[in-house]
Structure 1
Amino acid sequence: MGLQFKEPWFLLLLLPLIGFAVWMWRTKLQLLGTRKALAVGLRTTILLLLILSLSGIQWFVTLEQKAVYYVVDRSDSMQSSKAYEPWLKASTDAKAKDDQVGVISTGLDAIVERSLTPQSLNEFSFSGQINRQFSNLAQGLQLAGSMMPEQSTPRVVLLTDGNENVGDLLRQGKLLKDKGIPVDILPLPKSVKKDVSIDSLKLPDKLYQGEKYTLEIAIASTFAGTGELRIYEENQEISKQSVTVERGDNRFVLTSLAKEAGFHRYRAELYFAEDEQAENNISYAFSRVTGPPKVLVVEGVTGSSGNIESVLKSSFIGYEVIPPEMLSREMANYAAYDSIILNNVSATRISGPQMDMIETAVSSYGIGLMMLGGEDSYGMGGYFKTPIEKALPVYMDLQGKREIPSLGLILVIDRSGSMGGGKLELAKEAAMRTVELMREKDSVGVVAFDSTPWWVVEPQKLTDRKKVLEQIQSIQPAGGTEIFTAVDEAYQRMLKVEAQRKHIILLTDGQSATNQSYEQLTANMLKNNMTLSSVAVGEGSDVQLLESIAKMAKGRFYYTNDQSTLPAIFSREAVMMARTYIVDQPFIPALGQTVEWKGLLGDGVPKINAYVAVTPKETAEVALMSPEPDPLLARWQYGSGRSVAWTSDITGKWSADWIAWDRFSNVFSQIIKWTFPQFQASPFTLTSHLNGNEASLDIKSSLPGIQGDVQASITDDTLGKTELNLSPTAPGEYESKLAVQKPGVYLAKIDVKDATDKEKSLGSFTTGFVIPYSPEYKINPVDPTGKLKQLAELTGGRLLSLERPEEVFQGEVKPKRQSHDMAMPLLIVALLLWLLDIAVRRLSIPWERVAVLWTARSGRRLQPEPAAAAAGIERLRQRKRLAGLARPAGAASSDGATLLERGASAEVADAAASASAPAGAGAVQSSPRAGDGAPSMPPSAASNRAAGGPQPQAPAASEQTMNRLLAAKNRKRR
């Protein structure tokens, strides 16, 4: 332990401090004795403390301890090597008592498993969660270097197989070298296992329809064997063959034919019985096949698309007709089409994720969308507030354009425990969407039931829509299932509702706890003009009972295994009850505002017998309209794509005259073609490559000198979307980084905007890129020992061995000082001493009297020494002489002198009496001192006062003289 100074030059102030202390001692004449010594000492001490604070005084201790952080590579390539765990514990047994050890785990990221502590690792176990698909050793070293204490000798021990695939190990080593932190390396051998992997799958990124192409598959293997290679195009197997591989690199070439136009995703998979690692057995590729346009027709009624098929055939447009249940659940598959036509399809048959994909295909990738009318389309199909409604140019509800009969609706919702896990949340969303469709004059009620019914919303007019929505949101799952009681309760309350149409919607995923007769209940409903529809969710529901209830109550029955369709079912029911959404009065459509289609429709069009009423959106173009006026044909631009709404049918039931019209095929083919992607040949090309878990996207322009702002919209297979702004790196070149967590095919829509006019597009195109599996799983024959040895030499570290764990704590320890600043404590002490200095100079405390009062209060008499009594008498005599010298000539009367002498005599008498009084005589009896401002009273005057006789009066001159004497006495005391 010792002292040190940050600014020792301030210690030179100690020399003038000594002179200043001497000067203070000689000039402090107004203070005497102890008070003077105390005042001078305090001031000197205060200045000394200030000088020491300015000099940065510190006390320090010398430490000789090591701080060692173990950085352990816990990526997947290390999972087979567990030899380091006992080595860790054995190495800490050799540490000194004060040495500290900590553990850091690293994969893609790094976390502290245990902070530095003197305890060994005998009881330690790994528990942190990290991404093991990558090895980022630099991240672990950086974390260890940032957490090293300054007072210890630092050291990092890296345990790894050297399979670095993210970051720069040597660059981080240079930073640690600058900090003086050596890195010891324990190279762990990578276990040899039987592994076969697909290194790459290659095919041309651009093909023409009907073109033959080759697929090149590069396979690496650590053993010789025979297995199976499968090739998939859009999840459809196009090749399956047996392959024999040798140890090392193998290459295979397959040929195929580009049959369908559009974007296509390819996947190669390997199956070997001896393979011990499956993560590297898959690879992806992506290509765009150029050919005639292709349309996907989704029909709600089988065989109802004959007329639209004839239109497509006559225009040489390829097409595919599927039911809605066959819609793809993978985003890449929608990119194979130029347009999607929904022909009288109910929203209840399209899941929520599929609607999201269709909406994304239109907005982000320019795929066209067209909806054809019918009894199951638009609002009648339940598309209110769905993603498809967002993409279409019309709203599904009627926004105050006509008188609709008032509706009384009660929702009976199962809230039993089995409705948890998302079902009840979607049921609540469905109920809220239904409430949003209703108007203020409608009545709504919501009853939730388990074993008993509970009114969430009492039947009421929809005057406070927000409150009703909040009450619906409060439903929570609990209890069993009892259906009849809840339906009967809804029926009884519906009797009191005043509405032109009354309807009940029952939703449950279970079976009723009791079996009661519903015949009488449904008969009473029909008698009172009520209907009921039922919705069965999942295989556990009583489908037979719910279907029979809906049939007896003249309603509709729905069964769904996809709970995401519940909102569409509820909104469809609400619209179906209004019934006025279908306008069945024949009319000749009027031409609207679309100038581009005036040549097609301007010469007159046939009549329409019926259509589904909708509301056009604010920015939509209405080409044909009804007398209401409602849109019959509307279009608009939605994001990168275009969409069209035709609100009549295409089967001839509502549009027979149109089907018979000789221009029908030409008109509808032009309308369909208008929805096709408007991408032109782009002067831009996109390339991508993977660096660890980060994909780099590079765009280059073939036109010289082009400038603009480039934006990219990236979508993965799960519809996860990432928006990127690409930064220019050179004229006509741009780049951006994208963090990826999983392999697969990614779609990219690139927009290039004019730098001077943001509304002007210089080019827009859709393409794709592939993210392969992590390089962590590659079969890498390169020996990483050289790189690890270079890191150790760079930082001054060592190469350790599994056989000698004690080497970690061998070596020189550099002593380090642990300093503690003393400036602030010294300043605090100086402040306290300054306050004491003020008290010493400003306060005069009669310590003799304090002692007398203290002993009197404690019941004891002070026993002065005779010498002390004599000294007291001598002091009184001196005061008397001084008072005589201070009196002006002729100013004191004989009475004043007598009074002073009497006071002095009385004080002397008191001192003598105190000296001669026996011990234990009780309280000390003393008369007032003359110096205290009250003159002593003669005995005769005292006796007269005690007897109540006349008191002597001192002349005014005597009082003045006494006051002057007292003032002189007080000055002398100070």
Structure 2
Amino acid sequence: MGLQFKEPLFLLLLVPLAVFAMWMWRTKLQLTGTRKALAVGLRTVILLLLVLSLSGVQWYVTLEQKAIYYVVDRSASMPSDKAYGQWLKASSDAKAKDDQVGVIATGLDAIVERSLSPQHLNGFSFTGQINGQFSNLAQGLQLAGSMMPEQAAPRVVLVTDGSENVGDMLRQGKLMKDKGIPVDILPLSGPAKKDVAIDSLKLPEKLYQGEKYALEITIASTFAGTGELRIYEENQEISKQTVTVERGENRFALQSLAKEAGFHRYRAELYFAEDEQAENNTGYAFSRVTGPPKVLVVEGVPGSSGNIESVLKSSFIGYEVIPPEMLSRDMANYAAYDSIILNNVSATRISGPQMDMIETAVASYGIGLVMLGGEDSYGMGGYFKTPIEKALPVYMDLQGKREIPSLGLILVIDRSGSMDGGKLELAKEAAMRTVELMREKDSVGVVAFDSTPWWVVEPQKLTDRKKVLEQIQSIQPAGGTEIYTAVDEAYQRMLKVEAQRRHIILLTDGQSATNQSYEQLTSNMLKHNITLSSVAVGEGADVQLLESLAKMAKGRFYYTNDQSTLPAIFSREAVMMARTYIVDQPFVPALGQTGDWNGLFGDGVPKINAYVAVTPKETAEVALMSPEPDPLLARWQYGSGRSVAWTSDITGKWSGDWISWERFSSVFSQIIKWTFPQFQASPFTLSSRLEGNAAKLELKSSQSGLKGDVHASITDDTLGRTELQLTPTAPGEYESQMTVQKPGVYLAKIDVKDAADPDKSAAGFTTGFVIPYSPEYRIHPADSGAKLKQLAELTGGRLLSLDRPEEVFQGAVHPKRQPHDMAAALLIAALLLWLLDIAVRRLSIPWDRAAILWTAFRPGRRRLQPEPSAVAAGLERLQQRKRRAAGLQRAAQQSAGSGTTLLERGASAARSADGAGSGAAASAPAGQASAPSGAGGAASPPRAGGGAASMPQGPASAASPAAPGTQPDAAEQTMNRLLAAKNRRRR
């Protein structure tokens, strides 16, 4: 233990403090003796305490306990943890009893695998999840430095191969040095691999349709060998060839032709039998081919798109027709089209992620969207509350515009253990979406079943929609599967429901535990006008039973392997029960907000036989409407794109007169062209480069004098979106930076905001950029050995080896002081001593009398009785005082005959006694009588304070004359001495 000072210069104040103490001692103070010494000492100690407090005095203890954090690099370039796992455990076995060890894993981020503990690492294993695509050693060092305890000597052991690609470990090392934390290094390197990798894939960013171009591929290899190189445009293979590589860098070129307009993604892949690392065998590139627009037609019924194909051909618009199951699950593929047409497609055939991509393509990248009507479209197709409904200018429900037959609906939902996870959550979402689609006059019930049925929502009128939704959300998975009991329970309750149409929806992913008579059950249901539809989820469902149930109960059967379609299936079923969604009364459409389409319908329009009823959105433009009025043709701007809703069909079943109309092709071609992206030209060039885990984007404009803010919306293949504002760095040049988590092609929508109106875009275009695979997989990483050695030298650490794990706890311990601040205690002590100093200077305490009183009245002891001799002495003194008083009285009587002169002398003596002060008067014996006032014998009243005490004592004194100006008598002298003593005691 010892003392230390944070501000030692304040100790120089001790010199004037000593001089001040000597001056106080030599100065003639009013205090004397012990009180003076005590006062000077207290003041000196108080000032000393204040000086020590200013100097920041601390007492400390020296600690030799070690606290070591192992910071382990867990990035992809590191060898298996078997290479260092035993070393970690063996090194911790060499620690002392009080030493502490902890483990931190680092990749792109860092996490604490085990906090500091005196326990060894036996039985330890890595369990945390980190992003191993990058190495950020500085992050691990920073976390370790921030968690070191103050009561131990700190140290960090870094286990790494040194291939840092994010952050700066040397910069962090300087901070560790300032904290006094040495960093030991255990350098690791995996065995040499046979590896071949694609370093880059390049082609022109802009091409014209029919233009020849060259694909340039750079391949790096650690060995010489022969393999296969494949090139893909989108997911279609365009080249396959055998290549021979040498050790080092190899370059290849491939000639190709830009055939189709649009945004295209290219991918190169390598296949070598000797290659030991596949993560770096893929490269990406993209290009936009300028040419005629292209439309994607998605048809619900095969061969039903002939009329729309004729429209596109007559307008020289390229197109592609696919079934909904062929829709891409890659966001970049939608950018290849200018518009997407959904021709009578049921939402049950489009997965949730695909709907999200279509909605994103419209909102963020300006791709057009057209929905054509039919029996499987709009609300009849199950689009209620889907992403596609968000992008269209109409709502799928009727929102109370017309009377719909009341519906009684019971949902029978499997909640067995096999439904745990995404299945049950989507089933609950489907049930809630169905409830939201129903009206207050409808009745709803929800029964969940495992081995037995359980009523989640008793059949009831939908008067409290919020409560019903909360009850559905409470369903939890448990138990087995028993279908018959649940369906029978739903049927029995449905008999009591009053509704114009009554329907049951059964959903399960399993098989019933028992085999009951479903024929009798469904027969009874039909007798009471109750129908049933069934939904089979996954391959484990009893498809045969569920399909036969739906057929026998006059309902519909659905089978899906994509659980994301469940909400669309349920909402479609709810709408299918209300057949009034299809309006089949012929009418001639009325003109509404036609805008620039006014010329298309100026000469009149043919009649329509039927359509699907929908509700227009608040900001939509309804160009054509029915007498109801319902929208027949509506449009609006949605984000960066445009969308159109045509609620009749295009096959001629509902719109025969339109198909035979001579202006049909020109009208519909204009409608489709209206949805094309508004900005076709690309005034910008976007490039990117990877710096660690950040992509630096650089944008160059070919337009001079460009004004307005530049924004970029970046989307990856999982629809993750990042919004950026690019900063101008030079005339026509902008840049920004974004964090990336994985390689691939990223779509970018560039918007230039109008300087006069920031809510409008002055220009915009869609492009993309490529993020290559992580630098962790590069074949030629930078030499990291020298950097690791520099880090160890910078922080005072050591280079360790796998052969000697005990080195970690060897060597001299850097002792660490644990200080304890004393300033507060010193200030409190100074305050208490200051109060004592005031008491010493201001209070005079008779310590001898106090001691006697304490002895006499000390608690716990009997009060002392006075000694007999003391009592006798006291009585003797009282007798003497009595005799003296009597003598004074006689003397006064004898002098009464001397006349006025003696009386005046007595009065003069009385006046002298009064002038001596109240102290002398107070000292006169109590009860002493006054002398007579005159010769007549009349006694004057006694004077306050006992003036008779000033009379001369004894007869001799009474006989002598008292002339004015004579010396005071003995009594007066005694009183003066008493007053002087009293005054001294007060001082």
**Which TM-score band applies after superposition, normalised by the shorter structure?**
0.7 to 0.9
Task: Provide the residue aligned with 2:575 in structure 1.
Answer: 575
- Give the Cα separation in 2 of the matches to 1:583 and 1:881: 141
- Structure 1 residue aligned with 2:697: 697
1:602-621 equivalences in 2 (<5 Å): 602-621=602-621
Corresponding residue for 1:760? 760
Contact 2:79 2:190 in 1 (8 A): no
Q: Deviations over 1:638-676 (max 9, x none)?
A: 111111110001111111111111111111111111111
Q: Structure 1 residues 652 and 771, CA, compared in 2 at 3 Å: closer, same or farther?
A: same
Judge conservation of contact 1:25–1:40 (CA < 8 Å) in 2.
Answer: no
Which of these residues, 18, 39, 49, is aligned with residue 15 of structure 1?
Answer: 18
Shift of 1:731: 3.1
1:929 maps to none
- Rounded to whole Å, the distance in 1 between the matches of 2:585 and 2:781 is 78
Q: Which residue does the alignment assign to 2:322?
A: 322
Q: Among 892, 917, 922, which residue is 2:926 paired with?
A: 892
Deviations 1:173-203 (A, max 9, x none): 5656677777666654553221111111122
Aligned pair 1:631/2:661, yes or no? no
SS at match of 2:596: coil
| Corresponding residue of 2:948 | none
| 1:326-725 map, 5 Å | 326-725=326-725
Alpha-carbon contact 2:711-2:723 (below 8 Å) kept: yes
Rounded Cα–Cα distance in structure 1 between residues aligned with 2:273 and 2:812:
53
Is residue 2:318 matched to residue 1:284?
A: no
Residue matched to 1:252: 252
1:185-334 equivalences in 2 (<5 Å) = 187-189=187-189, 191-334=191-334
- Give the structure 2 partner of residue 107 of structure 1: 107
Alpha carbons of structure 1 residues 832 and 871: separation in structure 2 relative to 1, 3 Å? farther
SS in 1 for 2:402: coil
Query: Which range is displaced more, 449-458 or 433-442?
Result: 449-458
CA distance in 1, matches of 2:927, 2:462: 110
The answer to whether the 8 Å contact 2:546/2:557 transfers is yes
The answer to whether the 8 A contact 1:745-1:768 is kept is: yes
Q: Kindly provide the amino acid, as one letter, of the partner of residue 13 in structure 2.
A: F
Superposed CA deviations along residues 569-614 of structure 1, whole A, max 9, x for unmatched, are: 1111111111111111100111111221111111101100000011
Is the deviation greater in 876-885 or in 670-679?
A: 876-885
Offset of residue 377 of structure 1? 0.6
- The answer as to whether partners of 2:624 and 2:631 remain within 8 angstroms in 1 is yes
Shift of 1:552: 2.2
Offset from partner CA, 1:878-907 (integer Å, 9 cap, x none): 9999999966365512699xxxxxxxxxxx
* One-letter amino acid of the counterpart of residue 166, structure 2: V
| Mapped contact 1:11–1:52 kept (Cα < 8 A) | no
In structure 2, do the counterparts of structure 1 residues 425 and 818 end up closer, same or farther at CA, with 3 Å as the change threshold? closer
SS of residue in 2 equivalent to 1:564: helix
SS in 2 for 1:77: coil
SS of the residue corresponding to residue 669 of structure 1 reads: helix
For 1:786 and 1:393, the matched residues in 2 are separated by: 63
Please tell me whether the aligned partners of residues 79 and 189 of structure 2 are also in contact (alpha carbons under 8 angstroms). no
Higher alpha-carbon deviation: 447-456 or 147-156:
147-156
Where structure 1 has 5 or more consecutive residues not aligned to the other structure, the ranges are: 897-964
Cα distance per residue 1:246-271 (max 9 Å; x no partner): 22222222233323221221211222
Q: Report the residue type matching 2:361 in the other structure.
A: A
CA shift for structure 1 position 67: 7.7
Query: Which ranges in structure 2 are unaligned for 5 or more consecutive residues?
Result: 886-918, 931-977
Separation of aligned partners in 2, 1:650 and 1:306:
9
Q: Kindly tell me: are residues 408 and 132 of structure 1, through their superposed partners in 2, closer, same or farther at Cα, counting changes over 3 Å?
A: closer
1:166, distance to aligned residue in structure 2 (A): 2.1
The DSSP-based 3-state class of the residue aligned with 1:426 is: helix
Counterpart in 2 of 1:54?
A: 54
Q: After alignment, is 226-235 or 778-787 more displaced?
A: 778-787
Match of 2:947 in 1: none
Q: How many residues align?
A: 896
| Alpha-carbon distance change, 894 to 455 in structure 1, aligned in 2, over 3 angstroms | same
Task: State the SS of the aligned residue for 1:714.
Answer: strand
Shift of 1:876: 12
- When Rg is computed on C-alpha atoms for both structures, the one with the higher figure is 2
Structure 2: distance between partners of 1:581 and 1:419: 33
> Residue type matched to 1:581 in 2?
Y
Q: Compare 284-293 and 116-125 and name the one that shifted more.
A: 116-125
Structure 2 CA distance for partners of 1:105 and 1:503, relative to 1, 3 Å: closer
Distance in 1, Cα, partners of 2:879 & 2:813: 79
1:845-864 mapped onto 2 (5 Å cutoff) = 856=860
Q: Which moved more, 1:3-12 or 1:544-553?
A: 3-12
Secondary structure at 2:77 match in 1: helix
Alpha-carbon contact 2:78-2:189 (below 8 Å) kept: no
Separation in 2 of the partners of 1:358 and 1:881? 129
User: Which residue identity lines up with residue 623 of structure 2 in the other structure?
Assistant: A
Greater mean alpha carbon deviation, residues 562-571 or residues 109-118 = 109-118
Shift of 1:730: 2.6
What's the offset of the Cα at 1:389?
0.4
Q: 2:365 corresponds to which letter in structure 1?
A: Y
Paired residue type of 2:276:
E
Asked if the contact 1:448/1:455 (under 8 Å) is kept, the reply is yes
Matched-pair contact (CA < 8 Å) for 2:163–2:781: no
Contact 1:21 1:44 in 2 (8 A): no
SS at match of 2:49: helix
Give me the TM-score of the superposition, normalised by structure 1: 0.82
Q: How does 1:908-927 map to 2 (within 5 A)?
A: none
TM-score, normalised on structure 2? 0.81
CA separation of 1:730 and 1:99: change in aligned 2, threshold 3 A:
farther
Q: Which amino acid aligns with 1:234?
A: E
Which range is displaced more, 413-422 or 137-146?
137-146
* Deviation (angstroms), 1:138: 3.6
Counterpart CA distance in 2 for 1:283 and 1:377 is 40
Which residue number corresponds to residue 779 of structure 2? Answer: 779
Aligned-pair CA distance for 1:626: 0.6
Aligned counterparts of 1:879 and 1:668: Cα–Cα separation in 2: 142
Q: Identify if the C-alpha distance between structure 1 residues 165 and 39 changes in structure 2 by more than 3 Å, giving closer, same or farther.
A: same
Separation (CA, whole Å) in 2 of partners of 1:243 and 1:479: 58
Letter in 2 for 1:490: A
**C-alpha distance in structure 1 between counterparts of 2:278 and 2:874, whole Å:** 110
Fraction of identical pairs, as percent: 82
Q: Deviations over 1:803-835 (max 9, x none)?
A: 787887899988776543211122233445567
Q: 3-state DSSP class of the match of 2:577?
A: helix
CA distance in 2: counterparts of 1:546 and 1:734, whole angstroms: 60
* CA RMSD, 1 decimal: 4.1
Local SS of the residue matching 1:78: coil
Report the secondary structure of 1:412's partner residue.
Answer: strand
1:882-961 to 2 correspondences below 5 Å:
888=922, 892-893=926-927
Contact residue 345 and residue 377 of structure 1 kept, 8 A: yes
Q: Which amino acid in structure 1 is aligned with residue 255 of structure 2?
A: T
Question: What's the CA shift for 1:799?
Answer: 6.2
- Report the alpha carbon displacement of residue 784 of structure 1 after superposing the two structures with TM: 3.8
Tell me the secondary structure at the aligned position of residue 597 of structure 1: helix
Rounded to whole Å, the distance in 2 between the matches of 1:118 and 1:482 is: 55
Residues 853 and 248 (structure 1), Cα distance of their counterparts in 2 relative to 1, 3 Å cut: same
How many angstroms does 1:767 deviate by? 0.8
For residue 516 of structure 1, report the CA deviation from its aligned partner: 2.1
Report the more deviating stretch, 45-54 or 467-476. 45-54
Distance change >3 Å, CA 496–CA 838, structure 1 → 2: farther
Q: For 1:881 and 1:621, how far apart are their aligned partners in 2?
A: 132
Q: What secondary structure sits across from 1:332 in the alignment?
A: helix
Q: Distance in 2 between matches of 1:148 and 1:488?
A: 66
Q: Which residue of 2 aligns with 1:742?
A: 742
